[in-house]
Structure 1
């Protein structure tokens, strides 16, 4: 991992989600009406959560799960409702405050702890599984794979994450984004292929014993993302 590049990008993401976009993400998490573009993104994210949950057992009692880049906590809630003990980590403190304040009461046997910080913090211990929904899409393939390898060294069973697929449309958007000042727009998404991600991941010692499994793409309106399951064999 290029630590300098990773830290710089992480700082950009934190600034964006904690200052520029916090109100928009709170609206995403509510039932408030949205414009056509944002409504399609909200719906697309809901479809992706369902795809990611389909990679995990219905009964997660006894599992400790890291929801890396948990945002407003929608996926963490669903994991807890399956019985998991969930640690939701996000780099944006204001988003974490909102997530903690809006946890529903019907979690059943599961529970959630929310914390602002780095999803790669080794102090958080070991996990049965890790979920990372749209948390790695702003990093290069090499840095995203290195982050996955770091998590793999502390995970017992599975990692379910998303990346931005290298479609012609997303690649064009990425190329055009290089030409214009970004101002207050969201940090740039970096499209990549699963083959490229897995090639980088396989170079890490912690990747030994891990295999790629279920994958699914969600392309809904203005939302496009691909999930992939990694399992420890």
Structure 2
């Protein structure tokens, strides 16, 4: 299966059964214990990124691209804090849900633009580009292409998260693949942190901050990279 097939699978999944599943996980309704654990893990990742941005004390008016915005878990609170957001997702249904949530929280007066768009077609320039929990759906070669493209959009900073490739997680992934479920229709790709850092450095960025979110069923390594001075 090639990378193009992976993208098609991700798009179809999050416009069908995957949308219903992840809308529940990212929402606040009743879910099972595994889904609740994933919800809490994802929220921890979002909270970490927001804390980094707020700590810099320049969030108001900052231009940010949220690539793979899902249902707006990150974009909406950043817009609430005064940032100027361009939020995109490959899934039309996810973007529709994000728009509805933004309307409920922000009303009509906000600096938040949503678009149904795959990552490769994003354009423009932003102070900060953020891509959370997207790379897990793509193999290393495709992830490298995505990071290169995201880097070209960033004037100052790139924040990404990925499922780290460690012996423990590799074993858990192998075990999990033996018990496929009806909603597990995308592959889960793990990435070595050293490989991701190497790609970022080749794009002219250096690592500033790192964090790790780890729950029972959710693992996400977060890297903040800033553009090196010329």
Figure out how many residues of one structure are paired with residues of the other and give that number: 225
Is 2:157–2:224's contact at 8 Å kept on the other side of the alignment? yes
Specify which structure has the higher proportion of helix.
2
Secondary structure of residue in 2 paired with 1:230: strand
Is 1:80–1:107's contact at 8 Å kept on the other side of the alignment? no
Corresponding residue for residue 114 of structure 1: 114
- Find the aligned partners of 2:153 and 2:77 in 1 and give their Cα distance: 22
1:52 Cα deviation (Å)?
Answer: 1.6
Is 1:141–1:200's contact at 8 Å kept on the other side of the alignment? no
Corresponding residue for residue 170 of structure 1: 169
1:196 Cα deviation (Å)?
Answer: 1.4
Larger displacement relative to structure 2 (151-160 or 176-185): 176-185
Question: For 1:43-74, what per-residue CA distance to the aligned partner results, in whole angstroms no more than 9, with x for missing partners?
Answer: 11111111122332343223221111100001
Corresponding residue for residue 43 of structure 2: 46
Corresponding residue for residue 6 of structure 1: 3
Gap change, CA 1:181 and 1:31, over 3 Å in 2: closer
Superposition TM-score, scaled by structure 2 size: 0.88
> What is the 5 A alignment of 1:136-151?
136-151=135-150
Secondary structure of residue in 1 paired with 2:135: coil
> What is the 5 A alignment of 1:8-157?
8-56=5-53, 57-103=56-102, 104-106=104-106, 110-122=110-122, 124-157=123-156
- Find the aligned partners of 1:64 and 1:54 in 2 and give their Cα distance: 17
1:223 paired to 2:222 = no
Question: For 1:63-91, what per-residue CA distance to the aligned partner results, in whole angstroms no more than 9, with x for missing partners?
Answer: 22111110000100121122111111111
Is 1:83–1:109's contact at 8 Å kept on the other side of the alignment? no
| Structure 1 portions without partners, runs of 5+ | none
1:215 Cα deviation (Å)?
Answer: 0.7
